């Protein structure tokens, strides 16, 4: 049975309209830790059954989120290895807790390192356009501001869930010059932009970026306007499955985010599609900023090969 703490965090994430992948991963790992520590299992076998049910449920939160998938795999490997060596329930509980904390800490460290590296790409007075909520993008812009580079930022509203408004509020609270724009005004404002800076839910082995719906359009518009496009993503967002040709699943969210349940109920033959993410081709991305440095999209395959699955030093 899925633990109530896991059920609650999934419900909470839907209520908060599921912000960036790092936020989702942090919440999921905390829920997994809590569920493990509160387990009433009397045998290692029973604990493993509960643990796997919780992991499988959390995996379904966001199919495209690589930090979420990689974090859960990482904890699973540690727990399974311990169980294979005869660990008791208390030992397994401790391993879940330590392993989840470790991955969470390394993910946070990667964002701080991305902020340092990414801020070097921001010049004095740069005008930066961004789309959707990304912890890494926000960290880069804050770091550039701390370095007195005074960036100005165009933030798209990012419909239909409007997470761009949260980004604008966070940046403005830091004293950054922010302009919130409607999504369809991107081509109007791109000529006034020096760079586009986006986050990523996942990075494929071929260098393609999976990010909030609308990213691919913005990147294509930027390329036509000769504006550089940078993606900020930790190596924990690189997808090992894509090296073997697997496609990253693009989820569709509740259409009521677009139209509202009351209006939809009055229009039974009126269909609404609400894909959450799209895929931006590697050819529309100039550079990917990772905690290990800045790489061209074509080098993504090298990182995926080095990872050999999921490893956290």
Answer yes or no: are the C-beta atoms of 215 and 233 closer than 8 Å. no
The C-alpha angle 91, 96, 97, rounded to 5 degrees, equals 95
| pLDDT tens digits, 200-209 | 999 999 999 9
Res 300 pLDDT > 70: yes
Cα 155 to Cα 133, 182, 270, 280: the distances in Å are 10, 8, 31, 18
pLDDT tens digits along 139-195: 999 999 999 999 999 999 999 989 999 999 999 999 999 999 999 999 999 999 999
Express each pLDDT in 239-298 by its tens digit: 888 876 777 888 888 888 888 888 877 777 888 899 989 999 999 999 999 999 999 999
Topology, domain 4-110: 1.20.120
pTM, full prediction:
0.88
Distance CA 301, CA 305 (A): 6
Q: What is the pLDDT of residues 38-82, one digit of tens each?
A: 999 999 999 999 999 999 988 877 767 788 888 999 999 999 999
- Asked if the model's pLDDT at residue 234 lies above 90, the reply is yes
Per-residue pLDDT for 310 more than 70?
no
Task: Reply yes or no: is the peptide bond before residue 160 cis, omega within 30 of 0.
Answer: yes
Residue 124 clears pLDDT 60, i.e. is over it: yes
Domain boundaries, the chain: 4-110, 113-307
Residues 155-169: tens digit of each pLDDT: 999 999 899 999 999
pLDDT at residue 309 above 50? no
* Whether domain 113-307 has CATH 3.90.1640.10: no
What phi, psi does 181 have (nearest 5°)? -125, 155
- Is pLDDT larger for residue 13 or for residue 140? 140
């Amino acid at each position: 049975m899925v633990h109530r703490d896991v059920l609650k965090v999934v419900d909470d994430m839907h209520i908060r309209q599921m912000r960036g992948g790092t936020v989702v991963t942090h919440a999921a790992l905390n829920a997994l830790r809590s569920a493990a520590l509160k387990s009433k299992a009397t045998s290692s076998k029973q604990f493993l059954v509960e643990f796997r049910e919780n992991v499988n449920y959390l995996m379904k939160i966001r199919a495209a989120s690589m930090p979420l998938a990689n974090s859960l795999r990482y904890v699973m490997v540690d727990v399974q290895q311990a169980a294979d060596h005869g660990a008791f329930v208390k030992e397994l509980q401790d391993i879940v807790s330590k392993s989840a904390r470790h991955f969470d800490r390394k993910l946070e460290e990667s964002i701080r390192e991305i902020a340092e590296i990414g801020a070097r790409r921001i010049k004095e007075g740069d005008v930066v356009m961004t789309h959707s909520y990304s912890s890494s993008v926000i960290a880069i812009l804050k770091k550039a501001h701390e370095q007195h580079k005074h960036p100005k930022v165009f933030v798209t509203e990012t419909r239909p869930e409007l997470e761009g408004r949260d980004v604008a509020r966070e940046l403005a609270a830091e004293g950054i010059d922010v302009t919130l724009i409607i999504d369809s005004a991107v081509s109007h404002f791109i000529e006034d932009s020096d760079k586009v800076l986006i986050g990523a839910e996942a990075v494929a082995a071929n260098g393609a970026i999976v990010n909030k719906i609308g990213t691919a359009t913005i990147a294509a518009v930027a390329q036509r306007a000769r504006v550089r496009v940078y993606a900020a993503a930790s190596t924990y967002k690189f997808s090992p499955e894509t090296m073997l040709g697997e496609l990253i699943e693009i989820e569709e969210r509740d259409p009521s985010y677009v139209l509202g349940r009351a209006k939809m109920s009055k229009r039974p033959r009126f269909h609404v599609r609400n894909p959450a993410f799209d895929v931006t081709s590697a050819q529309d991305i100039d550079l990917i900023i990772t905690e290990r440095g800045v790489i061209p999209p074509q080098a993504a395959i090298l990182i995926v090969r080095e990872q050999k699955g999921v490893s956290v030093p």
